[in-house]
Amino acid sequence: MTKKKGIHFEVSERKILLRIMDIVMVFLAIYFLNLYPKFDYIQFEMSNGIALALLAVYIIIFGTIFELYDLQKASKLDSTFRNIVITTSTVVLFYLLTPFLSPYLPEERIQIVYVYFAIIVSILLWRLFYINLIESPRFYKRVLLVGEISNIDGLVRALNTSDPNYKIVGFINSEATGTDSVKFKGLKEFQSTDFLNVIEKERISEVLVASFNSEAIIAEVYHNLMMLLERGFKIREYTQVYEELLHRVPIQFVGKDFYKYFPFSRSNENKLYIFFQRTFDVFFAVIGLAVGALILPFIILGNMFGNKGPLFYTQERIGRNGKPFQIIKLRTMIVNAEEDGVKWAKKNDKRITKFGMFLRRSRLDEVPQFYNVLKGDMSVIGPRPERPFFVNELARIIPFYETRHIIKPGLTGWAQVKTRYGSSIDDSLIKLQYDLYYIKHRSVFLDFNIAIKTLSTILYYRGQ
């Protein structure tokens, strides 16, 4: 068996490549504009380094906010073009609003239009190349799944939707089979006797092992896995890949050795991180309450005509270490919405008023919670606090559910920016997976990532 494998790019490599090439293409466009004698707005030279660096920073920041580096969207031309236009429009606007760092406005204002279209065209040309080459099948990571039949369906469905370049081409059953064994028809099955031949014939780049019990792996498969490992072939365990691609902890696949999967982030006990987080919380809570006070007259008017009833309401939620506290929000539902008992809030819930829907979509209903942040009941970033009724119900059904209470709940969190509003047990399981991922990988970088994605949620009006 040869070690020749297909060329592919990892998720992190593609995200870095997209960012670097966006900047390179924009700089090339600026360089070509400089070849035109009458163009003098942005000079492509070392003495203008700060202005060029500012342009690059704006492209990276606003490109992230407007999902230019979301791999799912980057693989589609329509969403890519839309995001390029929105990003470029915002970049140019902010560039014009920072005259101390960016160049002075040119006498011929048409030069600004030249820059605007140069950025759009240069990035679009690169993205067309990316979609038609990097996202083509020749660069797919071809994966062979080795595992138990009971694991395969859930893993394949989850991984197939996570990364357009991650292709599971088939599987080998790692358990002994008999005539009455359950068959899985959703993916091509290869025989264990053909293991090494399949690796070469299908140009497999990686073997993914998905087994609850390594002792149950039949000797022939185990021997081939060892042989591949000794030859330097890439073999990975399914929970590692699941976390890497989906950014959530696969608690439904965790067994009695659960402690292996929760080496929680050191940031949870890092005094410096906790100090800066609290400083960040207080700073943004003050700003948030000030902004809330400015827009309050408009919200009062909207409430009078479209919400009719009390403006605010309080509700008991579960905080850090299971301690209950009273959360304060802008009311978005009809008065006495739960007179028939506690219910999940669902998509297109009839109890939500028209003005209440606007408040939810824009996330304005969450603004009063900055008061809870200021008090210390909540943080700006963390798992969303749930009601005691739902916590008791979910904790009985979902393993490790109460683990999410080891840190303060937040106004926004990893689950809120990565998935939809939880309106069922299955949705709550997915949200918990994201919450545990945040607790496990908590860091300044992840907090910043959540803040950026929250802005995307607000700007794209995706709140629920």
Residue from 436, 378, 361, 426 nearest 398 by CA: 426
Q: What are phi and psi of 380, to 5 degrees?
A: -65, -40
Q: Could you give the CA distance from residue 122 to residue 380 in angstroms, rounded to a whole number?
A: 37
Contact 404, 433 (CB under 8 A): no
- 8 A C-beta contact, residue 353 and residue 334: yes
State pLDDT tens for residues 398-453: 888 998 999 999 999 999 888 876 667 888 888 999 999 999 899 998 998 899 88
Tokens of 189: 């099955």
Q: Three-state SS for 45?
A: coil
Q: Which two tokens stand for residue 211?
A: 């087994």
Q: What is the rounded distance in angstroms from the CA atom of residue 164 to the CA atom of residue 11?
A: 10
Question: What is the value of pTM for the model shown?
Answer: 0.81
Q: What is the pLDDT of residue 179?
A: 46
Are 379 and 409 in contact by the 8 Å Cβ rule? The answer is: yes
Report the share of the chain in percent with pLDDT over 90: 39
Q: Tell me the domains of the chain and their CATH numbers.
A: 11-134 (no CATH), 140-246 (3.40.50.10700), 266-459 (no CATH)
Distance CA 258, CA 262 (A): 7
Residue 171 bridge partners (DSSP)? 145, 189
Mention every residue, 6+ apart, whose C-beta is less than 8 A from residue 442. Answer: 264, 265, 267, 268, 407
For residue 184, what pLDDT band results from cuts at 50, 70 and 90?
Answer: low
The C-alpha angle with vertex 381 and arms to 379 and 382, in degrees rounded to 5, equals 85
**Predicted confidence (pLDDT) per residue in 73-114, tens digit:** 888 899 999 999 999 999 999 998 887 888 888 888 899 999
- Say how many C-beta atoms besides its own lie within 10 A of residue 300's C-beta: 11
Output 30-34 pairs: Cβ under 8 A, ≥24 positions apart. 30/55, 30/115, 30/118, 32/118, 33/114, 33/115, 33/118
Instruction: Quote the mean pLDDT of the chain.
Output: 86
Burial class of residue 19, CB neighbours in 10 A (0-12, 13-18, 19+)? middle
Q: State residue 175's pLDDT score.
A: 79
Q: Does the pLDDT value for residue 139 go beyond 50?
A: yes
CB neighbour class for 218 (10 Å; exposed up to 12, middle 13-18, buried from 19): middle
Which regions of 238-323 does DSSP assign to beta strands (E)? 312-318
CA separation for the pair 437, 273 (Å, rounded): 18
pLDDT value at residue 386: 92
Burial of residue 447 (number of CB atoms within 10 Å: 0-12, 13-18, 19+): buried
Sorted by sequence, the CB contacts under 8 Å of residue 366 that are 6+ apart come out as 329, 411, 412
Tens of pLDDT, residue by residue over 276-307, are 999 999 999 999 999 999 999 999 999 888 88
Residue type, 5: K
